[in-house]
Every structure is written in structure tokens, then in C-alpha cells.
Amino acid sequence: MLTPSSVRSDTMPGVREDTGGFDLLAPDGTTYRVDLVDDVLAPENTLLAERLEGRRTVAFVSPNVERLYGHRLRTYLGTHMGTSDWSLTVLPTGERNKTLASAERVCEVARRSGLDRNGVMLAVGGGVLADVVGFAASVYARGVRHARVNTTLVGQVDVGVGVKTGVNALGAKNMLGTYHPPHASLCDQGLLASLPEREIRCGLAEIAKLAMVLDPELLTALERCPDVFLRGDAAGQTETRVMRASMRLMMEQLCPNLREHDLARLVDFGHTFSPVIETAGGHRLRHGEAVAVDMALSCLIARHLGLLRADECERALDLIRRLGLPLYDRSTCTPELMADAVRTAWQRRGGRLNLVVPSALGSGAFLENREDVPERLLTAALAELEERGTAEAANGARELAR
């Protein structure tokens, strides 16, 4: 099996897949590995210990992960490391705790345990924990190693394969953050068994995002099996195929543009309106749900502009619905807030909008300029979304009443 150090700088940049995971080598020489592993916390499985390389480790978990896996993680670290070489701390998570104060708390724990530049900060959890701990690792003592065991579907197909860290600040999602490649990133599909259905659906939103603008085959797989990751063993093989395809796609997209020098990124499909849907909605919607609403709105905009055929637009909306994700959010899908989202994205993307829309299902295009989405178009698309969202809610209520 390849290890990060065995990816030599004289090999070609790109993403290489093997039975145990993926190696990425970016054109700037940055390299890291994402491992696919079974039973990562079984004491006899040495992979995580190997990745930690005997370095002093300060580990962090969310309260849910503590409840479900805290005991196994302690046993694991206790088996493979000396008592004084590791600690485990529970951090409150959730979007509201994805703050600079939480990152400072991580640094405080590290400082108290005497973590030096050779140490590792380990996050065992979902995207929120990984983002906060990764951010802390990138600034603590000007940067220490960051390892993660990704325990959510979003974590495995999205956060865990990239290099971004961040906290919410100044009233905006991920306003402060860094690019800090992981020292190790491990994904164990078995951990998803305890994940609530709502969280699985959020992961499916990120997978659908990739499928709709990048991969017609993945799209068909999702259409055939919209309850993948929700059916347990019955979907085992499909799960692994979908997981690998998503991780590969995401890493291939990130690789040439790891630090986002190019701000036109197809993987930002669903991520233009969603930050405002999340923040202005007081985080009532989960990240993946806001992404779903954003994708639905972006598809309607594309159809109104004649970029996406009506039948393809229906197919996209139908998939979002069948994945059990929302199409609409009444309190935030207003012309004012969505125009605000356009303005904010335009600003953050250096004076370009770069709104990603499917041009046909399985391929994407960019609406580069703010003028490409005039207010009357946005208002018309939102009115249509409301109509569909309301019909959807009524159908849902009828289902429940049955």
C-alpha cells in the first residue's frame, strides 16, 4: 500500500487510487493520502496508529461520537500509545459552536498537554469538528499536523478528501479558514451505520452535487438507488462504488486547484445560495439540506435561461426529492436574501459570480457575471420554487396522514 512518503515528487500530479484509498499529488508538490479502512477502531487494526507515527496526539470528538465511540477510541489509543502520549477531549459541536472560540479551546488543550511542532491534532467526527480542529492545527504554533477519522458521509466524501479548514465568523459561514492538507485522513464506512438518517441524506446532497455537474453514471446510480447508505448491507456494493466514485471525482477536481487560485469550481454547485440559507435561517437547515435547496434553485435558473432542458430540470428536481432532501426553504428563499447571496458570492469570488448550473445532467457551466442572474429572473425562479416546495410539503403531509 502506498503511504504519503512513498508518493515521490517526480511522479505526475494527479489522484491515484488503490485498494486501500487514494493518494493525491498536486502540481505544487502538496501530497496527502485518504485511507479507506474497515473497523478503524478495532485494537488489532494498526492503520490509525501507523498514521499517527507514535507522535504525541491530542484527540477531539463531538458529544455524539464520545457517546458512541469514545470508549473504543480510548481503548485504541491506550493500546497503541503510552499513557502520557495522548489525550481525548469532548468538544461541543454544531454550526453554532464552529467558532474561533472553539478553535482557541482546541489550542488551549494542546498547549496544556505540551503539544509541540512534532505533535498531531486528531479529529474523530463530522465536518464541523474536522473544520474546527483543522483550523486550530493550522495556526497552533504556526502549524502542526492534523489527522482525522471522518465519521459522517459529508466528512467522508467531501471534508475529508480536501484541505480546507474553517470557522464561522463575522456573521458568515467559514469566514475564517485556511488550507491545511491533512497528515492523515481515514474513512470507515462502518461508522456510518450509527449516523441519523437526516445526516446520511445531507451526504447524499454532496454526492448529488458532484453527479449532476460532473458524472452522468454516478447520477444514474443515485437514481437507481436513492436510499444508498440507508439500506445497510443490502446496498453494500453500491455503497462502496458510490463512495469511491464520489471521493475520486472530488479529489480529481480539487487536485489541480487545491488552494482555489481558480475561483470557478464545478464542485461549488449548490454552494452559492446555501451559505445564506444556512446562516439567515439560524442553522435550522443542515448544510446538505441548504445545498439541496441551492441546487434546485440553480437548476430552475438554468432552465429559465434556456441552458438546461425542461425535462432535465425535472429529472434533477425529482432526484433531490427522492433523496429525501428539501427543494425549498420558506423563510430564507426570498428575493432579497437570495440577491444578497449573489452579491456575497460575487464579492468572495473576486468580482465574479461563477454560479454553477447543470448545462445538461452530468455536466456543468458557470454563470460568470452578476448580470447573468438579473433580479427578475431570480424572483421568477424563486416563485416557481415556492410553488413546487409548497406542493411538496402538502404531499408530505398527506403521506404522514395516511
Name the residues that contact ligand NAD, by CB under 6 A.
62, 64-65, 68, 93, 95, 98, 125-129, 131, 151-152, 154-155, 158-159, 162, 164, 174, 191, 194-195, 199, 202, 287
Nearer to ligand NAD, 243 or 381 (CB): 243
CB of 157 to ligand NAD, least distance (A): 9
Rounded CA separation 268/249 (Å): 13
The smaller minimum CB distance to ligand NAD, of residues 193 and 397, is found at 193
Count of all residues that appear for the chain in the document: 402
Taking the least distance from each CB to ligand NAD, the nearer of 35 and 131 is 131
Q: Measured from the CB atom, is 253 or 381 closer to ligand NAD?
A: 253
Closer CB to ligand NAD, 119 or 126, in the complex: 126
Minimal distance, residue 27 CB to ligand NAD, in Å: 19
- Partners of 358 in beta bridges: 364
Q: How far is CA 80 from CA 66, 89, 103, 125, in A?
A: 19, 18, 27, 20
Min separation Cβ 35 and ligand NAD, Å: 17
Which residues partner with 90 through β-bridges?
61
3-state secondary structure of 120: strand
Strand partners, 186: 35, 149
CA distance 361 to 213: 6
The bridge status of strand 57-61 relative to strand 120-125 is parallel
Cα→Cα distances 3→23, 35, 158, 371, Å = 8, 10, 21, 47
* Separation of first and last alpha carbons in the chain: 53
To ligand NAD, the closest distance from the beta carbon of 211 in angstroms equals: 16
Pairwise CA distance, residues 60 & 123, whole Å: 5
All three cell numbers of 117, joined, read 511542532
> What's the min distance (Å) between Cβ of 98 and ligand NAD?
6
Compare residues 134 and 389 and give the one whose CB is closer to ligand NAD. 134
| Shortest Å, Cβ 363 to ligand NAD | 22
Nearest-approach distance from CB 166 to ligand NAD, in angstroms: 6
> Which residue, 62 or 185, is less far from ligand NAD as judged by CB?
62
| 34 vs 300, beta carbon nearer ligand NAD | 34
* CA pair distance 291, 285, nearest whole angstrom: 10
User: Closer to ligand NAD at the Cβ: 187 or 307?
Assistant: 187
Residue 376 Cβ vs ligand NAD, minimum distance, rounded to whole Å: 31
